[in-house]
Structure 1
Amino acid sequence: MSHLRLDKIFNVSGLVVLVTGGGTGIGLMMAKGLASNGAKVYIGGRRKDVVEKAAGEHGSKISGELVPAGRVGATSGFLSDPNAPECSDTDTLGKALFYNESFEGWSTAFSVNVSSVFFVSTAFLGLLENASKAREAETGDGVLQLSISQVFAYNASKAAGIHLTKMLSTELALRSIPVRVNSIVPGAFPSEMTGSEASVSAQGSTLTVAQVERIAQGITQVPSARGGLEKDIVGIVLYLVSPASYYVNGQALAVDGGFLAVNPAVV
């Protein structure tokens, strides 16, 4: 029964892995976890100095610099009259929900979270197909599934990213291309986006309950009563790129401490 040993089922030694966004946050956690278990890891990102710093500190190799997918413009002026009744109260629907939205912001969100995923995935499809054990793990934040968080462009783009994962897995499978596509759906983890990357350390410190609640904006507190740890995200990554998940395709796996189980959400 040696084929059922952990070192066989979860073996990633010798795999060549590209982690985009691998210079900080969850991407860096993934890169470190894979490298620690014998994978040859390349990291890429929008900021050359960030990926070079991460590579220098953790021994990962940089495959190249990714061009920024878009830019954030000024706030949309569709509520142009500050004296209009709907703008008189900062808590009104018009201003509280929509005032900070912009066409440029939406374009940027979809460029980074959807378009770039598609083009990076297809760019490496040939290499993946040629590898007998090819697999691809795409990431999408847990907030994308929530129906209550007031971050419209980001949530919509992440939901589209999950749907793109399912579309890619279907199209590749129908064409007998031996590449699997799955999504990781993280909850609240220390990162630049959450403004708390310094909270994570080798000792396993993470976000406080208060920080998780501020980030998640949920109705019910996350059941685990904490944020995500490095080992939480590394564990799911090792699963998705190892033989343990060779029979898994087109799935979105939530790693959120049970947050989506107790808050309004759609799959």
Structure 2
Amino acid sequence: MNKFRNKVAVVTGGNSGIGYATAKELVKHGAKVVITGRRKDAIEKAAKELDAFPFVADQASVNDTQLLFEEIQNQFGKIDILFINAGITGSSGLIENMSEENFDNVMNINFKGAYFTLSRLIPLLNDDASVVILSSIVAATYKPNSSVYQASKAALNSIAKTAAAELAPRKIRVNIVSPGPTRTEVLSKSGMSDDAVQNLFDSLANAIPLKKTGTPEDVAKMVIYLCEESAGFITGSEFVIDGGLTL
């Protein structure tokens, strides 16, 4: 239960969903965990529940990320585990109808924000640290009405692999976890009603070979594995967790 004893972990978007489930597992295994989020009340509530350290930050803001760097440097010194998890789906629509506002919102959080979170926090990473980036199976799909979200994740995958190559000399491993349909709050936050979200997940479950959708805990367990010593020879890899949907 103490495989991460004396380890410092940072989880962006740690107040709900996959980020929360992963932070919970990290704390359970002995890590000191910093969770970030945009909403002060939500991130402080989650931190209290998890016994984690809260930090209010918008991943889209490079200035917030710089403040996060300074706080971690002052309070902990170094980072052993970095889980770049925060992201949004944005609104759906055809390319010809896409708004610049939605494009900027999605790219600023999912791609630019993730990129500069990694960029700014690299100096704090210990040698042998583990970085895990949350992507999605949509990075390799090309469904209508989801062009911006899909592109943001595809760009993220490219950067993750480049980072794996750049950081390999320091034995820092960078891997990608790409979930399929997972029951989190992200769709509700995009404006879908509870009934619409439930109907969507029911429909998706029927299309998945294992006949069920994923849970945040399913994804968290993969993230935890990639941060363990037993995954010490794995870097630059993508792990798909989708119940066989993309077979």
Q: TM-score, normalised by structure 1?
A: 0.71
Point out the structure with the larger helix share: 2
Structure 2: how far apart are the matches of 1:98 and 1:118?
24
Structure 1: how far apart are the matches of 2:114 and 2:130?
15
Aligned partner of 1:161 among 153, 156, 161 = 156
| Residue 245 (structure 1) aligned with residue 236 (structure 2) | no
| Residue 112 (structure 1) aligned with residue 109 (structure 2) | yes
Three-state SS of the structure 1 residue aligned to 2:224 is helix
Alpha-carbon spacing, 1:188–1:149, altered in 2? closer, same or farther (3 Å): farther
Which residue in the other structure is 2:177 paired with?
184
Alpha-carbon spacing, 1:132–1:115, altered in 2? closer, same or farther (3 Å): same
- State the Cα deviation string for residues 229-266 of structure 1 (Å, max 9, x = none): 343112201111110111011111111111111xxxxx
| Residue 24 (structure 1) aligned with residue 20 (structure 2) | no
Which residue in the other structure is 1:211 paired with?
200
Which residue in the other structure is 1:38 paired with?
30
Which residue in the other structure is 1:47 paired with?
39
- State the Cα deviation string for residues 112-171 of structure 1 (Å, max 9, x = none): 11111111112111221xx24311111112222222252111111111111110111122
How far did 1:27 drift? Answer: 0.8
Which residue in the other structure is 1:225 paired with?
211
Task: For 1:121, give the aligned amino acid.
Answer: L
How far did 1:107 drift? Answer: 1.6
How far did 1:99 drift? Answer: 5.8
Which residue in the other structure is 2:99 paired with?
102
Task: For 1:255, give the aligned amino acid.
Answer: I
Task: For 2:200, give the aligned amino acid.
Answer: Q
Three-state SS of the structure 2 residue aligned to 1:133 is strand
- State the Cα deviation string for residues 18-65 of structure 1 (Å, max 9, x = none): 000011111111111111121111100122222111112222111x22
How far did 1:13 drift? Answer: 2.9
Point out the structure with the larger strand share: 2
The number of residue pairs the alignment matches comes to 210
Alpha-carbon spacing, 1:110–1:247, altered in 2? closer, same or farther (3 Å): same
Which residue in the other structure is 2:122 paired with?
125
Structure 1: how far apart are the matches of 2:246 and 2:98?
25
**Greater radius of gyration (CA):** 1
Which residue in the other structure is 2:58 paired with?
67
Task: For 2:23, give the aligned amino acid.
Answer: A
Task: For 1:165, give the aligned amino acid.
Answer: A
Task: For 1:225, give the aligned amino acid.
Answer: K
Three-state SS of the structure 2 residue aligned to 1:69 is coil
Three-state SS of the structure 1 residue aligned to 2:175 is strand
Alpha-carbon spacing, 1:68–1:18, altered in 2? closer, same or farther (3 Å): closer
Three-state SS of the structure 1 residue aligned to 2:211 is coil
Give the superposed CA RMSD.
Answer: 2.6
Task: For 1:191, give the aligned amino acid.
Answer: T
Kept in 1, the 8 Å contact 2:179–2:242? The answer is yes
Structure 1 spans left out of the alignment, 5+ residues:
1-6, 71-95, 197-206, 262-267
Which residue in the other structure is 2:65 paired with?
none
Three-state SS of the structure 2 residue aligned to 1:147 is coil
Structure 1: how far apart are the matches of 2:148 and 2:142?
13
Three-state SS of the structure 2 residue aligned to 1:211 is helix
Structure 2 spans left out of the alignment, 5+ residues:
62-92, 190-196
Which residue in the other structure is 2:64 paired with?
none
